[in-house]
Structure formats: C-alpha cells, structure tokens
C-alpha cells in the first residue's frame, strides 16, 4: 500500500498531474470517474494567495468527491510561501504539493518553479519552512535538474526527504528541455533505488499508453505514475492502464457516445463552475482532444470554438454524436 502520510493510495497509484488551465474541477471530476487515484489542482501562485487575487483563490476550490486531492502551489519568497501554506491548509486538502518543476520563463526565471533547481539551499529552506508550518503532508514535484550539466535530482531527493517531505514526483526532463525530447526515467530509477530513500517516488513524463505504463512500472520500479498530457481529452487513460495491469488486455477505445458524453459533461460542469462566458471560453481548448481523429471533424470543431450560446453548443455536440454514430454503424456493417 502506497501512502502519503496517512493518505492511502493503493498498491500502484495513478495520479493526475497538476496542469495549468487544464486540471480544474470539471476535468478532475472526469479523471476521477475514470480511475485516477489522486488528483491535483492547477498550480497556484503563493504571491497571488497572499495578495488575495480573486482568480487565484478560485483555484483553491476542491470537493469531497475528488479526494484524495493535493493543492499545488509555487513561489520563491519564504514569507509568502509560509502564509500561502496556511491559506491552503484552511481549504482542507489531503496533501500540499510544492511545484519546483514549472519550466516557463515567467516562473522559473523569477526563482520559483524549476528556477529553484539553480539554488538548492534556498529550495530546501523554503520546503522546510512549509513542512514546519502545516499539519498536512507536504510533497514536491520537480525535474532532474536545470540542464544536462546540472542534473542533481539524487541530491535534491535526499535533502528534501531529510527535511520532511512525504513523497516526491519527478518529471524526467531538465528545465532546459521544457517538454521536448524523451523523458529520462533512468534518473528517476536512481532516486527510487537509492537505499537512503524511503518516501514514495512517483515518475512523470511520456506515459501515454497502457503498454508503456506497464513497461515503466516494471523497468523503473516507481511507487506510481503521474499522468499529464496523455489525459487531456482522454480521461479514459486511467481505466485503460488499470485494466491492462489487471488482465494484460487492452480495452477498446471509447466510442463516439462516450467521447461526446465526456465533452458534454465537461462543458456542463465548466458552465456551472466558471459561469457562462468563462466556462464557454475555457472549454474551447478541450474540444479538439475529445474529437481527435474523427474524419471531417474540422467544420464542427470550428463551430464549437466560436459559438457563445450554451444551448447551441450542446446541440452541436448532439449533432456530432448522431453523425458519427451513424458512420461507426456503417463501418461495422461493411
């Protein structure tokens, strides 16, 4: 049984990665329904919480059906990280996760996110202060290092464990790589196999199929896998991986009814959580993934990303379901 503090996650948990503008409550709900063992919020700015930014506070909203859930945040100033941790704790998450992995310039070049990989002593000071300021389990997500010349994840893991974090997720790329190239899980395995390490180690990067998930589980020996981009528009990835682990068989991909049902639920929950305007605008990035690989889908997609009336959007989705269900039936008859 893998545990973060007293939070039980099962024998080999699948975690939904915190993704900016993606892993909001409507999306987390879908992933949870399809087998994610633990989910995380979008990453949240400590400075935004301290300065009471309305959009930042909205990201703190979590629901009991999502549990176990971690609230992830980032920052580089000690006082703000402590104060923000107190605000986060008041929202009653199961875990508080610190982001030391975000590679984007506006975060990393301000000595937050992956930028802390260039100043490990400061990373350790920040983390220790947060650990001491909260009763929640504190975890960290980070990368291998700043670049290939400064891969320091083994040292980082030891030092963070020594000051009290209770789990570590490692994205198998450096900051310099951003999201390009292949994730290097050999370094993740070095951390996991380090005899000094006793906290759970989760691997992240490039797991996009049941076959790869099983291969990485067996080859690298992590305590679980965190899945990010492969889940966008495809929350079924969690159930497919679990089914493959249990049976060695691949589930058939979701049919058009499941795909449209997920898009419809996502839209409905987005409208309820964000309101009509923002709910519609922020849903636009999700239609293409839900409807990927459907022949001649472009005209429908164009309508979905320009329409502002909820009823019309639901009608377009109904039309897509009807048209492509007919095409699926025809292909089965041929």
The catalytic residue positions are: 102
Classify burial at 209, counting beta carbons within 10 Å of its beta carbon; exposed 0-12, middle 13-18, buried 19 or more.
middle
Query: Which ranges in the chain belong to alpha helices (H)?
Result: 25-33, 46-50, 54-58, 78-89, 105-108, 120-133, 153-162, 185-192, 210-220, 237-247, 256-274, 276-290, 298-304, 310-333
In degrees, rounded to 5, the angle at the alpha carbon of residue 247 between the alpha carbons of residues 246 and 249 is 130
Residues 6 or more apart whose CB falls under 8 angstroms from that of 26 comprise 265, 266, 269, 270, 273
Q: How far is CA 312 from CA 23, 283, 298, 320, 325, in A?
A: 25, 14, 17, 12, 20
How far apart are alpha carbons 100 and 116 in whole angstroms? Answer: 6
The token pair at 250 is: 């691949």
Residue 122: name the closest of 98, 144, 88, 103 by CA.
Answer: 98
Q: Provide DSSP, 73-94.
A: EE-S-HHHHHHHHHHHHTT--S
Q: How far is CA 324 from CA 213, 232, 296, 305, 321, in A?
A: 30, 21, 10, 19, 5
How many CB atoms within 10 Å of residue 150?
Answer: 14
Residue 299: name the closest of 274, 324, 282 by CA.
Answer: 324
CA 49 to chain centre: 20
């Amino acid at each position: 049984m893998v545990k973060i503090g007293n939070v039980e996650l099962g024998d080999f948990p699948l975690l939904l990665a915190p993704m900016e503008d993606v892993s909001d409550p409507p999306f987390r709900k879908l992933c949870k329904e399809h087998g994610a063992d633990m989910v995380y919020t979008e990453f949240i700015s400590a400075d935004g919480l301290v300065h009471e930014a309305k959009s930042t506070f909205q990201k703190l909203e979590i629901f009991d059906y999502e549990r176990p859930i971690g609230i992830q945040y980032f920052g580089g100033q000690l006082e703000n990280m402590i104060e923000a941790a107190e605000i986060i704790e008041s929202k009653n998450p199961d875990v508080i996760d610190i982001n030391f992995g975000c590679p984007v310039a506006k975060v990393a070049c301000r000595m937050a996110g992956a930028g802390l990989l260039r100043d490990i002593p400061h990373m350790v000071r920040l983390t220790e202060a947060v650990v001491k300021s909260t009763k929640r389990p504190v975890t960290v997500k980070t990368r291998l290092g700043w670049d290939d010349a400064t891969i320091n994840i083994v040292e980082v893991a030891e030092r963070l464990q020594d000051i009290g974090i209770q789990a570590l997720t490692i994205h198998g790329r450096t900051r310099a790589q951003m999201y390009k190239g292949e994730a290097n899980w050999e370094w993740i395995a070095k951390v996991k196999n380090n005899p000094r390490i006793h906290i759970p180690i989760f691997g992240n990067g490039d797991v996009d199929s049941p076959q790869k998930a099983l291969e990485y589980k067996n080859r690298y020996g992590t305590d679980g896998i965190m899945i990010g981009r492969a889940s966008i528009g495809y929350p079924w990835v969690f159930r497919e991986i679990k089914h493959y682990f249990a049976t060695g068989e691949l589930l058939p991909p979701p049919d058009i009814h499941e795909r449209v049902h997920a898009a419809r639920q996502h839209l409905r929950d987005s409208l309820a959580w964000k309101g009509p305007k923002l709910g519609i605008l922020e849903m636009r990035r999700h239609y293409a993934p839900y409807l990927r690989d459907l022949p001649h889908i472009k005209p429908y997609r164009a309508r979905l990303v320009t329409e502002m009336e909820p009823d019309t959007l639901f009608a377009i989705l109904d039309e897509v379901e009807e048209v492509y269900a007919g095409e699926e039936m025809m292909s089965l008859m041929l």
